[in-house]
Structures are given as structure tokens and as C-alpha cells.
Chains A and B, each alone.
Chain A
Amino acid sequence: MTIQTQTQSSKAYESTVKHGETLVDVQGLKMYFPVTAGLFIQRKVADVRAVDGLDFKVTKGETLGLVGESGCGKSTTGRALLQLYRPTAGTVNFGGTELTKLKGTELRRFRRRMQMIFQDPFSSLNPRMSVGQIIGEPLAIHGLYKGAERRERIQYILQAVGLNPTFARRYPHEFSGGQRQRIGIGRALAVEPEFIVCDEPVSALDVSIQAQVINLLEDLQGQFGLTYLFIAHDLAVVRHISDRVAVMYLGRMMELADRNELYENPLHPYTKALLSAVPITDPELERKRERIILTGDVPSPLRPPPGCVFNTRCPIAVDECRERVPEWREMAPNHFVACHRV
């Protein structure tokens, strides 16, 4: 696959954020979903605390990996950052602009700088739109490139994601899973975003196809200076692609550190258990590994346990863990953890 080097268009906005500076600054982010009951009058009976107080930053040009078990709030975090959900509380500062305060057109204009790639390459593409229309749609929304210029742009994007430019006239059902995922990436890329939330972009793909899409995301990052929030539950994939990795559990962040620091020197008992649960693809090494097998299941986000949310499954929990929420502390430079026991 060859990617033609072609410069971004003159329509690119001037980003105010330089490589290595903070692009997204998240403080106290909460996203609660109300649970309602009642036949005629809906009243709120409880909240699903999908995301419950996150503090983190994303640096321009980096890939921040976000891992954790099903339902821990990874997708909700990504959507709340992009304001696809309006957060219940907290702030999301994007290159100096507070997104949670933006409304209507202002927000829509900003959306051009932040895009999303979804997990399921089958349901996330409209089957009645041609590939050209799918990639052209965000361009139309943002009023970018008209007529022949737009067609050229679509061809350029198809080429950038490793698809034949003549595919523009075809429909999603004519493509394999990996090719569809490339189309989804192309759609996100079309408007020249700075920041892309990749929500499980390779989870639905066969391993050999996974590698193609991961390589593509890495190439595009280098080529266009992109910043990624990369959500996945495969810890090996996350280690591979990320510069830093954050671990979530039941709506909260447990630990955040540089990739090698987190995998070689995990501090939180949940991170340790999570890493030990993943077998290494080397029979001789793997058979010598000690494992921490967690018991029980993840509690419901409707009734998170008091204190540290992990205390019901934690092998080293003490009374304090059941009573007091641990604060988010920087234990070593750039290594954050929320645990009373470290």
C-alpha cells in the first residue's frame, strides 16, 4: 500500500496547539444517565453513573489508550469529550476553548476538529449511501470542497486509507470488514480533524486484518499529525499503539501512565489483575506466569459500591477502601493512580 504524499488543503484551519502541548484537558468529567420509571409520568428513579469524575489530559500528537472491562464507561468518555453527550458535570477544554459551554453552530464548527471512528464496520455505515457519499457527507455538513474539488478530495482520502479511488461508486455491502473499517476511518479523516476518538476500531476484525488497520492508523497519525484517544479492551493492542494508557473501572479512572511504565510497573491492583489475565502469545513464558484471578463480577453502575469502586473484587482491600474514595494521585512523574494501598 502506498500513500501519496499530498499536503492538506488550504482549507485547513490554523490549529493553535503545537505538538507536545495539551490539546484536550478534562477535569471532573461526569456523565450520568437517568433511569426513569412510571407509565404516564416519567420520574427519575436513579442514575447510571457511566462516568464518575475523570481528570486527564491528551497531548497533541499522542495516542492515549483507554482500557477497561465492558460497561466501565470508555465509550461514554469518548462521546462526552466530543460533546456527543453533554456531560453531567466537569469541563472539557479543547485547545483553549471550553466545549461544555458551546452551543449550536459554534459547537458544530468545532466538530470538524474532532471526529470518531466506531467499532462495528457493519452497522456504522449507511448501506444506502455509496462510499463516495459516505466520505463526502461530513464535507457537505461543514461546507468544505465543492463540485470537482470534493470528488478529488474523496479520491485522495480513499487512497490515503489504502482503498482504490474507483471504489467511490460502490456500496458498503460490497466490502469486507477490514475495508469497511477503512471507509469509516476515511469518513473521519475527510474534514481534517486534529483529534480522533477511535472506539474499538479493530475489535470486530480478524487478527490479520486488525494489523492492517492498526498500521494504517499509525501511518495516518504520522502523516497528518493526528491525536488519538484509542479505546479498546485488548491490552496488547493498546500497548502497541499507545504512548500513554489509562485504565478505567466502573466509571472511574484507576491508573494512568506511559505505556511501558504501566505494563512493566503497574501500581493499582486492578491493573495488575487485568494484565495478568491476558495470556502472552509465547507458550514457554506464558506457562510460567503467575496469574491473579479476580473473583465475582463487576458491580452495577446503578449502585456502585461505596469507597473505592473496585473494593468488592480487590484482593488487598481494607476497611478504608470500603469507606473512602481514594484520591487521584501522581505517585511518580506522569504516573497517576487512585488506590489507598499503594
Chain B
Amino acid sequence: MAKITMTVNGRQVSGVCDDRTLLVHFIRENLGLTGTHVGCDTSQCGACVIHMDGQSVKSCSILAAQAAGSSITTIEGLAQNGELHPVQAAFKAHHGLQCGFCTPGMVMTAVDMIRRHGSDLDEATVRAELEGNICRCTGYHNIVKAILAAVHETGGVRQAAE
């Protein structure tokens, strides 16, 4: 058993779990934040993507113990003061989701992409960087459209890692 402390969406949290507990299960079960999904058993679908110390990672392939002491952002941490994050708003405006299962991971991946590429982000890069996020519904076109729209919305400002 491990007692784990980390910062999640700006709040310090701690919990007790097995050393083998995956970060995604810690987030969903110990913290009750169920926006982060599990969509596969092969580290390929990206439904579980969160940010750890400012970078996108697959929380199904990391132990909670590995993340101890880190700063985590989940999909629940993006909206501020009841206002959707520009990437969330763009997904809504451009119909970037159907069933929504992949959406939290898509949005977290998109926010990270914009952080790294800023206004240099073009369609080819978006498509290449969605390699690790699978959507069974949309056919990706509207997801790509939403991400590119969000680049303009945010002024394409590159942000330093948190």
C-alpha cells in the first residue's frame, strides 16, 4: 500500500492505494473524477489522457505511485469559473464529438498540442499528433476542425509547461 499525495486540478489531494494501482483508477475511483476514461487495454486509444507536470500522458500506463508529488490536470480542471476552456467550446461549436467517450482524451491531447505548437499548428500536424487518440464515431474531421478553430480562438499562444 502506498499513501500518495499529488496536486490535481490545483488542489492538493492524497489517498491510499496499492503500489500497482494505475493513475487512471486512482483518479476515477479514489478521487471520483470520472471524466478521464479507460477505452482500451493496449495503451493505444488515448481516452485516459491527462496532463502530468504540464505534459499529456496516458494515465492508464502510469502507476499512481509514479505520479506522487506531481501536478495533474484532468478534463474537470479545464473549465474556469463555469466557462468552457476554448478547446472544449470549439469541440461543442464544431460538433467534434458524437458519443463523447473519446472526448476528454481528445481535448486534453488538443490542449497539449496547442501548448507545444501554438499558431504553427496545421492540419497535417494535428492529424499526425492524434495518432494516440482513437475515435470510433466522428471520423476525425470535426475533431481536427475543432482543434484548428481553437488555435485561432486562443490566438495560438504557446504556453510554457505548467
Q: Do A and B bind each other?
A: no
